[in-house]
């Protein structure tokens, strides 16, 4: 189903024109004299709640710095996914992140030329630099240890700048863990778990199924640890599909996209979520502790105090269950497709394996 413009918001590629691109690029200081006169559009990416389109631009004249291509991120054209994004505030969060928070963290981000945000409709459209030929990570295939090392550096660059920062209390739009949320989260998971089991059937291992059943009875207690802190800005969905791998000179770099789940939380939650499904189990078992140690060393090097290695590792092990929770919940509230099903199944199996390896299942009811 096609999208429909809301007020002045461009909700899909059919809502933009050459003048729209010219205004956006002039507003960001990218264009001075040139005007966009024509363009081609090509859908890209694997987003579940957003719809990414690459536009190849043609100008009326040459101008230094005029981008040949840009990427627009529109709300999902799928009614279920779009309604989910509106209901849980994902479009609002990403718009506000780029409007007011991106400058406070040091993680590598794409340049954002335009944020169109309709706060009443809770929808947003953003226009970014095109990072091609950088390649999107693949959550199903996994990544190499070398790639994971670069990603860990980026996570520290996200978490350290606002680690236990009093300014977090002033960011009212960022969700913060609350003690009373645990029962609601457990209830929501419990309502979705039967549908998850039905969808994946025999493809879901007995081990993952048993973990999921136990998790459904202990999620409220488990999640309360998020309330304790230390708190910082977290991505909330830090996985390979939201990472673009490229090079800067001879150095590999990674750029993080999709800030629709940004929140206040615990940094190792992002880390366990990434390593648990981003690395294949054998690679994770071999390199996991070294990578978590590297993360901790980077935090300390960036000025984080009062968070010792033992606490870091303990938090990491505890939050290895986060990815299993996300696999169950997210798979049931967005549009189902073949790749999405394969991705969520891979996440569930790998995070179950991670939780068993690290003993996180021991905190759950038998």
CA distance 180 to 350: 29
> Which residue from 40, 21, 44, 45 is spatially nearest to 240, judged by alpha carbons?
45
Identify the bridge partners of residue 166 per DSSP, sorted by sequence position.
Answer: none
The model's pLDDT over 225-263, given as tens digits with 9 standing for 90+, comes to: 999 999 999 999 999 999 999 988 778 899 999 999 999
The model's pLDDT over 120-130, given as tens digits with 9 standing for 90+, comes to: 999 999 999 99
| Domains of the chain, residue spans | 13-129, 135-363
Percent of the chain exceeding pLDDT 90 equals 88
Q: What is the pLDDT of residue 81?
A: 84
Taking 70 as the threshold, does the pLDDT of residue 93 lie above it? Answer: yes
Taking 50 as the threshold, does the pLDDT of residue 2 lie above it? Answer: no
CA distance 65 to 354: 46
Q: pLDDT band for position 273 (50/70/90)?
A: very high
Q: What is the pLDDT of residue 102?
A: 97
CATH superfamily of 135-363: Aminoglycoside phosphotransferase (APH), C-terminal lobe (3.90.1200.10)
∠ at Cα 73 (268, 347), nearest 5°? 35
Q: E strand or H helix at 206, and its extent?
A: helix 206-223
- The chain-wide mean pLDDT, for the chain, equals 94
Q: What is the pLDDT of residue 1?
A: 36
Q: What is the pLDDT of residue 117?
A: 96
Q: What is the pLDDT of residue 7?
A: 55
As a whole number, mean pLDDT of residues 294-314 equals 98
CA quadruple 298, 304, 308, 314: dihedral sign: negative
As a whole number, mean pLDDT of residues 136-148 equals 95
The model's pLDDT over 318-362, given as tens digits with 9 standing for 90+, comes to: 999 999 999 999 999 887 889 999 999 999 999 999 999 999 999
> Which residue from 163, 175, 168, 169 is spatially nearest to 296, judged by alpha carbons?
163
Taking 60 as the threshold, does the pLDDT of residue 40 lie above it? Answer: yes
Residue 76 DSSP class: P
Is CATH 1.10.10 correct for 13-129? no
The model's pLDDT over 177-231, given as tens digits with 9 standing for 90+, comes to: 999 899 999 999 999 999 999 999 999 999 999 999 999 999 999 999 999 999 9
Q: pLDDT band for position 46 (50/70/90)?
A: low
Percent of the chain exceeding pLDDT 70 equals 97
As a whole number, mean pLDDT of residues 14-34 equals 97
């Amino acid at each position: 189903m096609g999208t429909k413009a809301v007020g002045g918001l461009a909700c899909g590629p059919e809502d933009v024109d050459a003048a729209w691109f010219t205004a956006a690029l002039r507003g960001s200081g990218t264009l001075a004299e040139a005007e966009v006169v024509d363009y081609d559009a090509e859908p890209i990416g694997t987003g579940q709640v957003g719809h990414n389109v690459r536009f190849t631009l043609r100008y009326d004249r040459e101008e230094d710095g005029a981008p040949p291509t840009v990427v627009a991120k529109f709300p999902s054209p799928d009614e279920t996914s779009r309604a989910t994004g509106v209901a849980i505030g994902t479009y609002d969060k990403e718009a506000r992140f780029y409007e007011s928070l991106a400058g406070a963290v040091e993680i590598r981000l794409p340049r954002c030329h335009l944020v169109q945000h309709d706060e009443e409709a809770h929808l947003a459209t953003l226009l970014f630099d095109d990072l091609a030929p950088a390649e999107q990570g693949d959550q199903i295939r996994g990544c190499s240890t070398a790639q994971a090392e670069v990603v860990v550096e980026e996570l520290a660059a996200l978490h350290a700048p606002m680690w236990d920062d009093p300014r977090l209390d002033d960011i009212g739009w960022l969700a913060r863990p609350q003690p009373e949320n645990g029962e609601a989260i457990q209830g929501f998971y419990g309502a979705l778990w039967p549908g998850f089991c039905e969808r994946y059937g025999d493809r879901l291992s007995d081990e993952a199924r048993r973990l999921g059943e136990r998790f459904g009875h202990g999620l409220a207690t488990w999640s309360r640890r998020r309330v304790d802190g230390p708190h910082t800005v977290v991505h909330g969905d830090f996985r390979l599909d939201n990472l673009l791998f490229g090079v800067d000179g001879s150095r590999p770099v990674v750029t993080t996209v999709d800030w629709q789940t940004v929140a206040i939380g615990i940094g190792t939650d992002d880390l366990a979520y990434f390593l648990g499904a981003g690395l294949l189990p054998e690679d994770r078992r071999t390199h996991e502790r070294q990578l978590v140690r590297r993360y901790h060393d980077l935090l300390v090097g960036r000025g984080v105090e009062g968070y010792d290695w033992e606490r870091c590792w303990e938090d990491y092990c505890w939050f290895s269950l986060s990815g299993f929770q996300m696999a169950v919940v997210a798979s049931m509230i967005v549009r189902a497709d073949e790749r999405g099903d394969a991705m969520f199944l891979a996440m569930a199996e790998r995070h179950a394996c991670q939780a068993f390896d690290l003993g996180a299942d021991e905190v759950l009811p038998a």
